[in-house]
Amino acid sequence: MRESTLHTDSITASDATHETVDQISAPSTSKRMILNMGPQHPSTHGVLRIVLELDGETILKAVPDIGFLHTGIEKECEVKTWQQVVTLTDRVDYLSNLSNNLVYALSVEKLIGDIEIPAKAQWMRVMLVEFQRLNSHLVWLGTHALDIGAMTVFFYCFREREDILRIFEMFSGQRMMTSYIRIGGLALEPPRGWQQAVGKFISAFPSKVDEYENLLNSNPIWKIRTQGVGFVPLEDLLDLGVTGPMIRAAGMKWDVRKDEPYSSYDQFDFEIPVHKENDVFARYRVRLEEMRQSARIIKQALEGMPEGAWQASAPKIVLPEREKMKTQMEALIYHFKIVTEGFRVPAGEAYQAVESPRGEIAYYIVSNGTSKPYRVFMRTPSFGNLQALAPLLEGRLLADSIASLGSMDFVLGDVDR
């Protein structure tokens, strides 16, 4: 049960360098006002509470209060087998499920050591993760524009998102929490006819991005609300732990896919969009161009998809095919052992970073040689990004804070786990 007491009898506000949420106060005679933004608020994109100290429309102090969505996922990972944890990872950043699956699978494969993921599985992973990036950016664009007042964009984005969710459903049976990327490869064989569905979507998509740009790029209201808003110097952003499109919109070309390639990303041809203005408009442009680049990667994956197995040949780790399990004794035994006891991973630690739509997501996994993880630390991008909230909001107008929060693109599941 949370108890937040805002004392109204003493001045402690702006002279302190850092205060707890429960201690911000202002005397009742000043024109300063303490307001709670959230935890239920349509523009905080989740259960985020920001305690704002306002002087009219200007924010003097903004203190974020997180933890409302904390569900103890890291603790839960320690009592499930390595295989079972995959379904937990989907739900951490619930808008980019496949990225979370991928980073977990890559970290565990790093720990296991001698497991070779076939080329087809790697390319499929790349294609699906880029679809996930499109998915996440579409939600971001729709809700960001909606916050600022452009309702049409929301409907357009969700129209495309519906197609992508149908593609996910075709692959895994699930629209969102797909758990499709597993340790050793994919969960299921890619369905028949996926090439047509993906091909149809990807040939129509670039013109849809043109539509979004038509609605917003030269829109005077959009430009007034977003240009020049939300500037924080690049060194501060890096020091505060911000990663992802916010850094690329500040002029630094850093993307984990290019700098530390994983899962055969080095075989794909794509650009990293970078802008220098470091405001909300630049972040919008960066993400829109990322959508185009993702479409480019998906097209290359579709055209060049290698043939072969979709999971590694590691019978002790990867579940056998369903038909084999029903007819062969060995496969049945392996299936039984993997599902009930789980497989063992050698003791040690591994760290793998992946570029999620929000920034650098990395899992630091410690194993003690048993069939359950010993410690799974999720270095989530939104937790780092949200630390830049105070410099981003303070000293600016309340209306600008809505645009700035949207441009940060954080997801509370990521922040709180």
Partner 1 sequence: MLPDVLKDHAVAAALEAALPDAITAGHAERNEPTLWIEPARILEVCRYLKDQEKFVRLSGITAVDWLPADPRFEVVYLLHSLARNQRLRLKCWIAEAEPEIDSVTGVWRTADWYEREVFDMFGVRFRNHPDLTRILMPSDWEGHPLRKDYPVHGHKYSYQDE
CA-closest candidate to residue 256, choices 133, 341, 73, 172: 133
Tell me the window of 143-151, 190-198, 213-221, 254-262 that interacts with partner 1 (CB under 8 A).
Answer: 254-262
Question: Smaller CB distance to partner 1: residue 114 or 307?
Answer: 114
Q: In whole angstroms, how close is the CB of 186 to partner 1 at the nearest point? A: 24
Q: In whole angstroms, how close is the CB of 76 to partner 1 at the nearest point? A: 7
Under the binding rule (CB under 8 A), the answer on residue 67 touching partner 1 is yes
Q: In whole angstroms, how close is the CB of 274 to partner 1 at the nearest point? A: 14
The residue from 55, 57, 189, 239 that contacts partner 1 (CB under 8 A) is: 239
Question: Smaller CB distance to partner 1: residue 55 or 239?
Answer: 239
Under the binding rule (CB under 8 A), the answer on residue 2 touching partner 1 is yes
CA 35 to chain centre: 29
- Sign for the CA dihedral angle at 178, 181, 186, 190 comes to positive
x/- mask, partner 1, residues 73-102, rule CB under 8 A, reads -xxx-xx-----------------------
Residue 250 near residue 234 (C-beta atoms within 8 A): yes
Question: Smaller CB distance to partner 1: residue 1 or 329?
Answer: 1
Question: Smaller CB distance to partner 1: residue 54 or 389?
Answer: 389
The residue from 70, 296, 324, 337 that contacts partner 1 (CB under 8 A) is: 70
How far apart, in whole angstroms, are the C-alpha atoms of residue 389 and residue 141? Answer: 19
Under the binding rule (CB under 8 A), the answer on residue 110 touching partner 1 is yes
Under the binding rule (CB under 8 A), the answer on residue 249 touching partner 1 is no
Residues 327-366 that bind partner 1 (CB under 8 A): 348-351, 353, 360, 362, 364, 366
Binding residues for partner 1, total number by CB under 8 A? 48
How open is the CA angle 44-130-96, to the nearest 5 degrees?
Answer: 35
How far apart, in whole angstroms, are the C-alpha atoms of residue 93 and residue 31? Answer: 39
Question: Smaller CB distance to partner 1: residue 231 or 364?
Answer: 364
391-396 contacts at long range (C-beta below 8 A, 24 or more positions apart) = 391/232, 391/236, 391/240, 392/230, 392/232, 393/50, 393/52, 393/59, 393/62, 394/59, 394/60, 394/61, 394/62, 395/58, 395/59, 395/60, 396/58, 396/59, 396/229, 396/230
Which tokens sit at 144?
Answer: 């960001």
Q: In whole angstroms, how close is the CB of 97 to partner 1 at the nearest point? A: 21
Q: In whole angstroms, how close is the CB of 84 to partner 1 at the nearest point? A: 13
Residue 93 near residue 379 (C-beta atoms within 8 A): no
Non-local CB neighbours of 220 within 8 Å, separated by 6+ positions: none
Under the binding rule (CB under 8 A), the answer on residue 194 touching partner 1 is no
- Sign for the CA dihedral angle at 180, 185, 190, 194 comes to positive
Question: Smaller CB distance to partner 1: residue 186 or 353?
Answer: 353
Under the binding rule (CB under 8 A), the answer on residue 377 touching partner 1 is yes
Residue 4 near residue 34 (C-beta atoms within 8 A): no
The residue from 9, 15, 18, 196 that contacts partner 1 (CB under 8 A) is: 18
Q: In whole angstroms, how close is the CB of 98 to partner 1 at the nearest point? A: 22
Question: Smaller CB distance to partner 1: residue 367 or 404?
Answer: 367
3-state SS class at 102: helix
Under the binding rule (CB under 8 A), the answer on residue 15 touching partner 1 is no
**β-bridge pairing 49-55 and 58-65:** antiparallel
How far apart, in whole angstroms, are the C-alpha atoms of residue 117 and residue 64? Answer: 42
3-state SS class at 257: helix
Tell me the window of 128-136, 214-222, 231-239, 312-320 that interacts with partner 1 (CB under 8 A).
Answer: 231-239
Under the binding rule (CB under 8 A), the answer on residue 20 touching partner 1 is yes
Helical segments of 149-250, H only? 151-172, 194-216, 220-226, 234-240, 245-248
Residues 221, 226, 229, 230, Cα dihedral to 10°: 150
Residue 387 near residue 240 (C-beta atoms within 8 A): yes
Which tokens sit at 414?
Answer: 């990521």
Question: Smaller CB distance to partner 1: residue 105 or 386?
Answer: 386
Under the binding rule (CB under 8 A), the answer on residue 309 touching partner 1 is no
Q: Which residues bind partner 1 (CB under 8 A)?
A: 1-3, 17-20, 22, 66-67, 70, 72, 74-76, 78-79, 110-111, 113, 236, 238-241, 252, 254, 259-260, 348-351, 353, 360, 362, 364, 366, 374-375, 377, 379, 383-384, 386-387, 416-417
